[in-house]
Amino acid sequence: MNRAPFCFYEFFAGGGMARLGLGEAWDCAFANDFDPGKAATYRANFPDAAAHFHQGDVWKLTTADLPGRADLAWASSPCQDFSLAGARAGLAGGRSSAFFGFWRLIAGLDAEGRAPRAIVIENVGGLLTSHGGRDFAALGEALAGQGYSFGALEVDAAAFLPQSRPRVFVIATRTPPPAGLVGASPFHTRAVRAAAAGLPKALAARWIWWRTPRPAPRNTDLAALLEPDNAVVWHSPERTARWLALMAPLHRSRLEAIRARGERAVGAVYRRMRVEAGQRVQRAEARFDGLAGCLRTPRGGSSRQVIVVVENGRVRTRLLSPREAARLMGLPESYSLPKAATTALHVAGDGVAVPVVRWLAQEILEPLLGGSAAMAAE
């Protein structure tokens, strides 16, 4: 049968957003996730899932479950798994974490002579700074120990989608990258530069400054992704008033200024805990810059993002819908979401933004791995 030019494994796959981002040029040889809701969503969206998707604990997998040799291993590990330093004693600690379950498989593949040529580890920005950079250095030690050189980009999905969602992408390779992939990038943020500067000398020698262009300007905003006003359920006036009462004076004054102008404006609101006069206070914080706040997993009432619409002097609020959350992750309208709103929002909030993955594949991964694919075809 005809196969795609590139082959990959996807660990902690969730609803398969990395797979969607990689696209048709990539063949998924293996995917896994522990969460039943995410696993069901993956199966619902990929008809070939029965052939390669494994639901369950990554620690119960063996290298025998991983067919062939992949060009790429993608891992969107739970963010808490990178608390490697401090009480966990760096790389010597935290062996029960999901990340180490993944990493022992990479080490096992290496021992069998079939380690992936490249690895992408996606995580929150705190990976670069936690424990004074020691967690990031511990990750670098793990990569270097298996023969990988590596670099990082901190990419905010807001460059591609109307959602503020900064994430770190550590891209590692076992072969030297082409010269054209090394250089400057707009995603070498201050945190990335500080993390690189803090690496021990041996790891600094393995650092790669991945070169990328600046993406084309984003051409859509939050309002463009929302359902029509008459197709959604709005909060009662009393519930809206409670949201407004939670706003800090600065946020409330901004909203009142918009209302006074009589124009239509769409914003996003989250509840957050702030310290005011030495006391922890719950506040509603609104933004009207065309972006949604970073989607979260809905484990509590404060984690649901609220849409606020100001028009003709009237203020209305409602909850963000699962389909709107899916759009904010770059998922197509054909993507099948769980029927339960909480599960659907969990799948979206825990995922990776699809256009970001596509851009990384186009700008780095495919040029990096193209040589190996060409050789394999000969």
- The sign of the dihedral angle between the CA atoms of 133, 134, 137, 139 is negative
Q: Where are the alpha helices (DSSP H) in the chain?
A: 17-22, 36-45, 49-52, 98-111, 126-129, 134-145, 190-197, 201-204, 237-245, 249-261, 322-328, 341-349, 354-360, 366-377
pLDDT band at 145; cut points 50, 70, 90: very high
Strands 72-75 and 6-11: parallel
Environment class of 173 (CB within 10 Å of its CB; exposed 0-12, middle 13-18, buried 19+)? buried
Taking residues 81-97, what's their average pLDDT?
43
Q: How is residue 364 written in tokens?
A: 């780095």
Q: Is the pLDDT of residue 78 over 80?
A: no
- Only one residue has tokens 């959350």, namely 325
Check residue 12 and report its DSSP letter. Answer: S
Residues 266-287 have pLDDT tens digits of: 999 988 888 888 888 888 999 9
- Determine the 3-state secondary structure of 267 from DSSP: strand
pLDDT for 288 equals 95
> For 199, left (φ over 0), alpha (ψ -120 to 50), or beta?
beta
pLDDT band at 82; cut points 50, 70, 90: low
CA nearest neighbour of 368 among 101, 179, 167: 179
Taking residues 73-98, what's their average pLDDT?
57
Residues 300-324 have pLDDT tens digits of: 445 679 999 999 999 999 999 999 9
- Only one residue has tokens 């904010």, namely 328
Q: Is the pLDDT of residue 265 over 60?
A: yes
Q: Are 141 and 150 in contact, with CB atoms under 8 Å apart?
A: no
Q: Can you give 112-157 as a three-state secondary structure string?
A: CCCCCCEEEEEECCHHHHHHHHHHHHHHHHHHHHCCCEEEEEEEEH
Domains of the chain are 6-218+349-377 (3.40.50.150), 228-320 (no CATH)
Name 156's bridge partners.
Answer: 166
